[in-house]
Structure 1
Amino acid sequence: MIKQFATGLAFTTILSLSLSSCKNATQEKKEEEVHNPASQTIPEESKELLGRWDLTVDKKGTSVPSWIEIKLSGFTTLVGSWVGDSGSNRPISHIKLTNGKFSFAIPPQWEGGEGDFVIEGELAGGELKGTITSNNGEKYTFTGVKAPYLVRDKAVEWGTAVELFNGKDLTGWKPSNEKNQWVVKDGILTNQGAGANLVSEQSFQDFKLSLEFRYPEGSNSGVYLRGRYEVQIEDSPKDKHPGSLYFGGVYGFLAPNEMATLGANEWQKFDITLVGRLVTIVANGKTIINNQEIPGITGGALDSKEGEPGPLYIQGDHGAIEFRKITLTPAK
């Protein structure tokens, strides 16, 4: 009798453990389904805020570009990315949303100083509006519109290549300010030192761009596609791990897959294709970024009007750089 009772008890225990295991497995499966982003329920209060926004900031009477992406992390937490009128893309760890108004704080980057920048805003009539309070107490207003997707619905047909540098003078280009250091020497477009940026008089939408350039030791420059997306030209060490802030990167957003620089005082080449937001960069014969999406404007952009054509602009306010060839093939 005791033996039968023990056997029955053992069976009951095994059955209980089995049912418990099945229950746990069901719960785990349910949790996995809940955590699946494809079936995620977006809170109604934040639904219209999510996405990328092209911002315009009124900075002491001057309009400067900015950009923000707002994303949902988990069930209700809002996070994102921010680009100011200078510096690079920086992460936002938490965006608070209360009664339709959002706010977040980010530490300074290249601005220096102590304390955070505080951004506050709201959605009104399908647009963002708000204020930026700097870490030194200065306050600016901003407005924002949803950034365009820039998806192309058919394959690109290329037009005729255009030489944007004639080898003689600055025809077709204009310096950004009176501190211009750009001259043409022996057929070479030369920025002699930190001064003005150089902006093309023509604007472009989709294109292929070929550049041949050379920089001295320690110098820093870049080329802005449509005047908004900087491809970094910098004297990065050859043994440095590649990153979005170094040679060949799309500043703050896209890192190359290898450090393809030949080093200072060597003629180098970029072949860049930009279609919509998709960019391919070939540096010195190596494809280092392949058909990747550029999320938004980079620091130093001329404007945030991403849906419009824009000029090429070459950074000249950081250091010396030389170009011997600038060839652009526009899409038809």
Structure 2
Amino acid sequence: MIKQFAYGLAFTGLLGFGLTSCQQGASDKNNAGQDSTAQKEEVEHNPASQTIPEESKDLLGRWDLTVDKGGKQVPSWIEIKLSGFTTLVGAWVGDSGSSRPISHIKLVDGKFSFAIPPQWEGGEGDFVIEGELAAGNLKGTITSNTGEKYTFTGVKAPYLNRTAAVSWGQPVELFNGKDLTNWKPSNENNKWVVKDGILTNEAAGANLITEQTFEDFKVSLEYRYPEGSNSGIYLRGRYEVQIEDSPKDRHPGTLYLGAVYGFLAPNEMVTKGPNEWNTMDITLVGRLVTVAINGKTVINNQEIPGITGGALDSKEGEPGPLYIQGDHGPIEFRKITLTPGK
């Protein structure tokens, strides 16, 4: 009986093994077929001929937003993109901080929504943005992570494509080496003074804004910052090129020296460091920007997608001033020369 029982177990085990092997083989073939189909579909999918779902096609693109924050109009920005067949993703810029990725935008019955974690605002919980199309524009609400609720409106951002080459006018010395002529502080907490021919922001305070506005231009700067300081130059009052004490050995990034804040990273860190005079040359034509630091081009004719945090407004189709960030830390300038495009 023991031998027969053992034999029975062995036979059953072999039979089970055989069945399992056959089932596994069939499963493998089936999975292989599915993988082959998936690979075939992936290979055959062509983004250039991507079919855009009807319900989301009018939402796609970049939008310049204006947020009513307790009666104060502040700028914001959103980009909505199609990922794959139906998933909406994008990027969002608030009135401060940098561009933030949106991993999923839900669209139900013509209304979109997404949640975004806090950045420099701090605190717990998410910001929740809800909106919809209304007569070709956007409208909606922003609920902060502290429960404050604001309304917003949005218009499609302009492409700012230039159809002809820019011709350049006569250079203008925006800093005369004597006083704040051509400039105005953003508020009463002004820390900007002129000392020995140097424009100096002595401590965190007001930003400094040109009285004149510009469209396309080239600007050349000579600047110096102390250890640990942070500032920036806003082009048309909307796009910040970062100036800060970024260590020379830091890997280039979108938040460091020479970056278009949150959007475009320089390809190299070429600062001379704190307490040294550095140069920066910026050319802005439409949305295309070129940045050179200390004679080396670190961003070459790249598109700026939208406004950066701290922008004066979101009216991207209009000329705007040059403004120097003064609310973060001290900085000095001994040259600010702007050449306008005609």
| SS in structure 2 at match of 1:32 | helix
> In the alignment, which residue of structure 2 is the partner of 1:62?
72
| SS in structure 1 at match of 2:256 | coil
> In the alignment, which residue of structure 2 is the partner of 1:262?
272
C-alpha offsets along residues 90-132 of structure 1, whole Å, 9 cap, x if unaligned?
Answer: 0000000000000000000000000000000000100000000
Residue 236 of structure 1: CA displacement?
A: 0.4
> In the alignment, which residue of structure 2 is the partner of 1:299?
309
> In the alignment, which residue of structure 2 is the partner of 1:326?
336
Verify the 8 A CA contact 1:33 1:39 in the aligned structure 2.
no
> In the alignment, which residue of structure 1 is the partner of 2:111?
101
CA distance in 2, matches of 1:77, 1:210: 43
Kindly, what percent of the aligned residue pairs are identical? 82
Residue 26 of structure 1: CA displacement?
A: 8.4
C-alpha offsets along residues 145-186 of structure 1, whole Å, 9 cap, x if unaligned?
Answer: 000000000111001000000000000100001100000000
| SS in structure 2 at match of 1:69 | strand
> In the alignment, which residue of structure 1 is the partner of 2:43?
32
Verify the 8 A CA contact 1:213 1:324 in the aligned structure 2.
yes
> In the alignment, which residue of structure 1 is the partner of 2:82?
72
Residue 258 of structure 1: CA displacement?
A: 0.5
Residue 39 of structure 1: CA displacement?
A: 1.3
> In the alignment, which residue of structure 2 is the partner of 1:92?
102
Letter in 2 for 1:275: V
| SS in structure 1 at match of 2:213 | strand
> In the alignment, which residue of structure 1 is the partner of 2:24?
none
Matched, 1:152 2:162: yes
Identify which of 226, 234, 250 aligns with 1:240: 250
CA distance in 2, matches of 1:282, 1:239: 18
- Tell me the TM-score normalized by structure 1: 0.92
CA distance in 1, matches of 2:181, 2:38: 70
The number of aligned residues is 311
Identify which of 221, 225, 229 aligns with 1:219: 229
CA distance in 2, matches of 1:27, 1:265: 58
| SS in structure 1 at match of 2:322 | strand
Residue 30 of structure 1: CA displacement?
A: 4.7
CA distance in 2, matches of 1:178, 1:147: 32
> In the alignment, which residue of structure 1 is the partner of 2:139?
129
Letter in 1 for 2:198: I
C-alpha offsets along residues 207-241 of structure 1, whole Å, 9 cap, x if unaligned?
Answer: 00000000000000000000000000000000000
CA distance in 1, matches of 2:42, 2:296: 44
Q: 1:23 to 1:226 in 2, by over 3 A?
A: closer
Matched, 1:172 2:157: no
Identify the range of structure 1 (102-111 vs 22-31) with the bigger mean alpha-carbon deviation: 22-31
Matched, 1:192 2:215: no
CA distance in 1, matches of 2:261, 2:198: 26
- Consecutive unaligned residues in structure 2, runs of 5 or more: 1-31
Matched, 1:317 2:313: no
> In the alignment, which residue of structure 2 is the partner of 1:8?
none
CA distance in 2, matches of 1:317, 1:24: 56
CA distance in 2, matches of 1:224, 1:24: 50
Residue 31 of structure 1: CA displacement?
A: 3.7
| SS in structure 2 at match of 1:165 | coil
C-alpha offsets along residues 184-223 of structure 1, whole Å, 9 cap, x if unaligned?
Answer: 0000000000000000000000000000000000000000
CA distance in 1, matches of 2:78, 2:329: 29
CA distance in 1, matches of 2:234, 2:55: 37
CA distance in 2, matches of 1:23, 1:222: 53
Runs of at least 4 residues off by over 3 Å: 21-31
Output the aligned Cα RMSD: 1.5
Residue 33 of structure 1: CA displacement?
A: 2.1
Matched, 1:308 2:299: no
Residue 24 of structure 1: CA displacement?
A: 8.8
> In the alignment, which residue of structure 1 is the partner of 2:128?
118
